[in-house]
Structures are given as C-alpha cells and as structure tokens.
C-alpha cells in the first residue's frame, strides 16, 4: 500500500518532527568525513522550510549506549546543516528535556532546529512508549526520512507514529518507490547480482529473489559454497560447509522456477589473503590447494556484464571479490561499470556494494544507490520494514 508523503499533508505553520539519518562518520577531530547522509536529507528539509513548517530534526549518531557522551554529539551535524541550508540550526542540549522543548516552542515558521542524539536515551532503541510520547509532544506531524533505520522499530521510527500523523520524506519515498517497483512489478528481464562474504547472510534474499527474477548471478565469497555443492574443487576459498546442502536446495529451487542461476566460470585466486599474494586465474571448479578465490575472473566479468546490459531491471548487493585489495577489485569494478552502462533501472543495495560503486566513480550513473545497508537487505528479503509500515496509508 502506498504511503502518504510530505506532499500529501499540509505542513504550513505546523511543528514537524523529522527523523533523519545523520549517522555520519567523524574523524578524531569530530570532522565529518562523508556528508552524503546530510546532503541526502536536504530535499525534505528544504521542502518543509519553503512551505513554512517549523522543523525539528532528530537522528542517532554512533552507539552512545543510552547516556550522554560528547563524543557522539550531533554538534558537527548542526554546524554543517547551518552552512548547507544557509540558516541557523540550533542544537538542543538534550533530546526531550527543557532545552529541546524550549527551542521547539520558540520556533517560527521556516525555522529549523536539531535535537541531540536520540540514542543518549536507552528508551530510543527499546521503543519505549513514554519516550516516544515525549518526542511526539513537541510536534504536530511526524516525517520519517531515515531509510537506514527503518528496519528497526525504535521510538523515533515506530513508537512516535502512535501519537502523530506520520508520513514519508523524499528519501524514504524514493527508496520504496524504486525498490518496491523493482521487486513487485519489474520491467523484464529482471536480473539480480549477489555477492559478499557469506551465503548465510543472504539466504532470505536469495529465497525471495528466486520468486521474482529472471536470472540470479552469484559472485563473491558466497559463490564457493555453491561451487562445492556442484562437486568443484575450491582450494582454500571461503566455504560454509553447513550451507552446502542449502546451496543445492537453492539451485534446485531456481531450476524449478525457471530462474537462470549463474555462478562464476573463472576466478582470480591468491596464495594468501593479501593484496600482494601470488595471483592466478583459474577455472572456478578447479581452484588448487594452497589458493583461495578472491575475485571473479575475466570470462565471468564478460558473462555477468552481458547479462546486466540486456536487463531492464537490475538489483546488485555485495561485492564480487575482496575489492578492498586493488589486485582483486577488477570483478566488482566490471559489475559497477556494467550497471552504469545499462539502460534499464539499476539499483545498488546499500552497504559494501554502495561503498564500492561510490569508490569506483559510477554511483551517479545508476538509477538508485540505497541509503540503508541492513534496511535494503531486509526489503529485498520481502520483510516489512516497521519504520515504513507504521506510516499513514494514502
């Protein structure tokens, strides 16, 4: 069911509590080292300002474990927001205390303020109703724009919706529109590429995608368990021995659904887990003892890229190899490039694949890079995200 967005309600003159994801990385001097998440929140904030709302922003930052800790203060975020919005963004000294409530009640139309780190209260992650009610008491309307925490039922993502009308901001709207359409009503061929370290992390995703895609391409560390299931020799490659039977079942499920499940045909293997290891290209079912597969090989890059270029919808989650090592980043780079060159809808699930496509310079050339790692994985698993489910239906 479609969810109401900020454009479906009147915001003028209203106090609007906006849950953002300002969980940005900070260096030792509390300088923001990547401001993507702050910049990503601007369209929603600017819309509310332009439409004369009184804007109360809130977010978590890091893991302060339920008590005040200056190290996790949102002060650097408030300062950067003030520069980007070119207006004052006062930071409350607390979350639901006198400072927050005083600033909130003094807001004028078009003003913006920021509450201190929500996780200074342990009640936030416990989804404590009294804490949620206190948060809600400062506002007339709630906007969720934090996709990265939408898979968690916390006071600021779920609890607060019991006390206020609740709608989606632009970021959440974009996530659920693009990913929702791809998963529920994709233009075909629909191809998914999964990689990353472990099969066990992606079982739910594979199971759900097998119901939907035309082809599933599997690379990364998880592919070796599938090769083993096919009777291949995988040398010292990553293996989840207790998932070999499951890999067989998933391949049988793919066959019964008419989904083409493609595994690598060749791999780059190294004699140790290091960038400088002795490096050979091998057949994927013939990795010698003493070597471990650390990337997909050149033939696989061509096959996977061709699948992507023919697709009308592509979802990618998980690197094809140990892309952190330059010597083993080629496979992941080839997939990133193929995504960028594909004319269809191209979606990169969050986490490592989002970091990889960013690093490789192709992020601007795909349709959507999800802002939530865990949240986008759960979405791909077909799990309802509590922070989205709790928003008002259209």
Nearest to 336 by CA among 366, 307, 357, 351: 357
Q: How far is the CB of 322 from ligand AMP (least distance, A)?
A: 4
Spatial separation of the C-alpha atoms in residues 168 and 180, rounded to whole Å: 14
Q: How far is CA 339 from the centre of its chain?
A: 17
Spatial separation of the C-alpha atoms in residues 359 and 391, rounded to whole Å: 34
Is the Cβ of residue 163 or residue 325 nearer to ligand AMP in the bound state? 325
Which of 197, 244, 265, 302: binder of ligand AMP (CB under 6 A)? 197
- The strand pairing partners of 347, in sequence order, are 315, 368
349 binds ligand AMP (CB under 6 A): no
Collapsing DSSP states into helix, strand and coil, what is residue 130? helix
Collapsing DSSP states into helix, strand and coil, what is residue 218? strand
293 binds ligand AMP (CB under 6 A): yes
221 binds ligand AMP (CB under 6 A): yes
The catalytic position among 351, 372, 373, 387 is 351
- Distances in Å between the Cα of 274 and the Cα atoms of 55, 171, 196, 278 are 49, 38, 17, 9
The catalytic position among 3, 15, 37, 202 is 37
First CA to last CA across the chain, in angstroms? 8
- Distances in Å between the Cα of 391 and the Cα atoms of 6, 75, 183, 374 are 11, 29, 20, 19
Is the Cβ of residue 16 or residue 193 nearer to ligand AMP in the bound state? 193
Spatial separation of the C-alpha atoms in residues 339 and 369, rounded to whole Å: 11
The one segment of 164-172, 179-187, 240-248, 316-324 that binds ligand AMP by CB under 6 A: 316-324
The catalytic position among 36, 126, 133, 198 is 198
358 binds ligand AMP (CB under 6 A): no
351 binds ligand AMP (CB under 6 A): yes
318 binds ligand AMP (CB under 6 A): yes
Which of 38, 103, 294, 380: binder of ligand AMP (CB under 6 A)? 294
The one segment of 62-70, 181-189, 315-323, 385-393 that binds ligand AMP by CB under 6 A: 315-323
Q: Is 37 a catalytic residue?
A: yes
Instruction: Please list the active-site residues.
Output: 37, 198, 351, 374
* Binding-site ranges for ligand AMP (CB under 6 A): 196-198, 201, 220-221, 238, 293-294, 318-319, 321-322, 324, 351-352
């Amino acid at each position: 069911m479609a969810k109401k967005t900020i454009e479906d309600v009147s915001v003028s003159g209203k106090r609007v509590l906006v849950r953002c994801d300002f969980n940005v990385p900070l260096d030792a001097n509390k300088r923001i080292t990547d401001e993507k998440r702050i910049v990503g929140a601007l369209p929603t904030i600017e819309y509310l300002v332009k439409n004369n709302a009184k804007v109360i922003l809130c977010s978590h930052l890091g893991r302060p474990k339920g008590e005040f800790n200056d190290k996790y203060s949102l002060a650097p975020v408030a300062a950067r927001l003030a520069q980007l919005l070119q207006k004052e963004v006062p930071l409350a000294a607390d979350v639901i205390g006198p400072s927050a409530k005083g600033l909130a009640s003094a807001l004028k139309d078009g003003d913006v303020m920021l509450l201190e780190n929500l996780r200074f209260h342990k009640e936030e992650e416990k989804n404590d109703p009294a804490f949620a009610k206190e948060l809600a008491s400062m506002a007339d309307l709630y906007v969720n724009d934090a996709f990265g925490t939408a898979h968690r039922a916390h006071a600021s993502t779920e609890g607060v919706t019991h006390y206020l009308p609740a709608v989606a901001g632009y970021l959440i709207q974009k996530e659920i529109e693009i990913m929702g359409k791809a998963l529920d009503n994709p233009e075909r061929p629909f191809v998914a590429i999964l990689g990353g370290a472990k099969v066990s992390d992606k079982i739910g995703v594979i199971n759900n995608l097998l119901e939907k895609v035309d082809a599933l391409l599997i690379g990364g560390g998880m592919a070796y368990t599938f090769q083993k299931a096919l009777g291949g020799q995988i040398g010292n490659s990553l293996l989840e021995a207790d998932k070999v039977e499951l890999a067989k079942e998933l391949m049988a499920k793919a066959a019964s659904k008419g989904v083409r499940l493609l595994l690598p045909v060749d791999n780059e293997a190294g004699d140790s887990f290091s960038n400088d290891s002795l490096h050979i290209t091998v057949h994927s079912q013939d990795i010698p003892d003493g070597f471990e597969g650390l990337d997909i090989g050149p033939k696989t890059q061509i096959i996977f890229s061709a699948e992507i270029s023919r697709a009308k919808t592509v979802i990618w989650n998980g690197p094809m190899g140990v892309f952190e090592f330059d010597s083993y980043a080629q496979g992941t780079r080839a997939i990133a490039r193929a995504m960028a060159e594909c004319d269809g809808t191209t979606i990169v699930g969050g986490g490592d694949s989002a970091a990889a496509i960013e690093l490789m310079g192709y992020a601007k050339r795909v349709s959507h890079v999800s802002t939530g790692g865990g949240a986008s994985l759960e979405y791909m698993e077909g799990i309802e995200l509590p922070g989205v489910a709790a928003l008002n239906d259209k």
